[in-house]
Amino acid sequence: MVPGNQTKFSEFILLRFSEKTDQQGPLFGLFLSMYLVTMIGNLLIVFSIGSDSHLHTPMYFFLSNLSFVDLGMVSTTVPKMLTSILTQNKVISYADCLAQMFLFMVFISMDHFLLTVMAYDRFVAICHPLRYTAIMNPRVCGLLVLLSWIISLLDSLLHSLMVTRLSFCTEHEIQHFFCDLPEVLKLSCSDTFINFFLMYLVTGLLGIVPLTGLLFSYTQICSSILKVPSAQGKYKAFSTCGSHLSVVFLFYGTGLGVYLSSSTTKSSWKSTVASTMYVVVTPMLNPFIYTLRNKDIKDALRRLISRIAFSQ
């Protein structure tokens, strides 16, 4: 292969959700509603935590970062999908596709790391309550989030730079509603062995390490909760991590659905629906999970809404 980018096409075509013209209106209304709900819900959480001194704790610091990441993930994929559905313009430029792919990989990696960090926070709070403030001090929390951002950015940058070396000759139709790395690699007429090898290797490492940490944390948490003598004490201890555990199951459950659907059915409608659950539905449900099960967040939201109402 000749070094450098030999792209003959300056643009790609995103096919999913634009194939059946009779469904464009309902699809646009559905995804616009989901996008607005996701944006409003996560923004309320970010602003509530930031404006309420009672929530300036490690758990809510990580939660505000998770909401910010969810905002970034849906804003990376959904607006282009809505534009394509509304205008029937399925074209995305090579530069925009590369940027979308880069940002999506950053945010999805951050989701993995933040869920693991939040599990560690709950592990320290439940298993080592007397040392919690010393272990989870502001400096440690900031370093954990910063390290997560650095690793996510470097991982995404590596894959994106590897894509720029590829040639795209005749195939330029992406069987997805956004520029996903595996789908883009399938269109290249260059040798993509190294790209796929790095993708599976790095994704495996960055997936297994956080998942291992998450499983370890919850194994220790469950062990500590079972040692609590009273049923009320067990419920109180479990309730402090119930919302996070629900988000973990939702995130990894939909992620597993994407993997299974894509491996068993090639570019099928089921795979697209699974990806939508993973990319769009999960960020939308996260604010509801945390607000419905968390009295502190509810109180902070009421105070925020009251301040906004009285300031008018």
- Predicted confidence at residue 76, as pLDDT, reads 95
Q: In three state form, how does the secondary structure of 59-91 look?
A: HHHHHHHHHHHHHHHHHHHHHHHHHHHHHCCCE
In tens digits, the chain (312 residues) has pLDDT values of: 444 444 455 788 887 665 556 677 888 899 999 999 999 999 999 998 988 888 899 999 999 999 999 999 999 999 998 988 888 888 999 999 999 999 999 999 999 999 999 999 999 998 898 999 999 999 999 999 999 999 999 999 999 999 999 888 877 888 888 898 988 998 888 889 999 999 888 888 888 888 888 989 989 988 888 887 777 767 776 777 778 888 888 888 877 767 666 655 555 566 777 788 888 888 998 888 888 777 888 888 888 888 777 766
Whether the CA torsion 299, 305, 308, 311 is positive or negative: it is negative
Q: How far is CA 192 from CA 5, 38, 187, 280, in A?
A: 13, 36, 10, 29
Report d(CA 26, CA 2) in Å as an integer.
46
The domain segmentation of the chain, as residue ranges, is 11-311
Q: What CATH fold (topology level) applies to the domain 11-311? A: Rhopdopsin 7-helix transmembrane proteins (1.20.1070)
Q: Any idea what DSSP says for residue 189?
A: S
Q: Which two tokens stand for residue 146?
A: 């910063």
Supply the pTM of this predicted model. 0.88
Q: Which two tokens stand for residue 160?
A: 């994106």
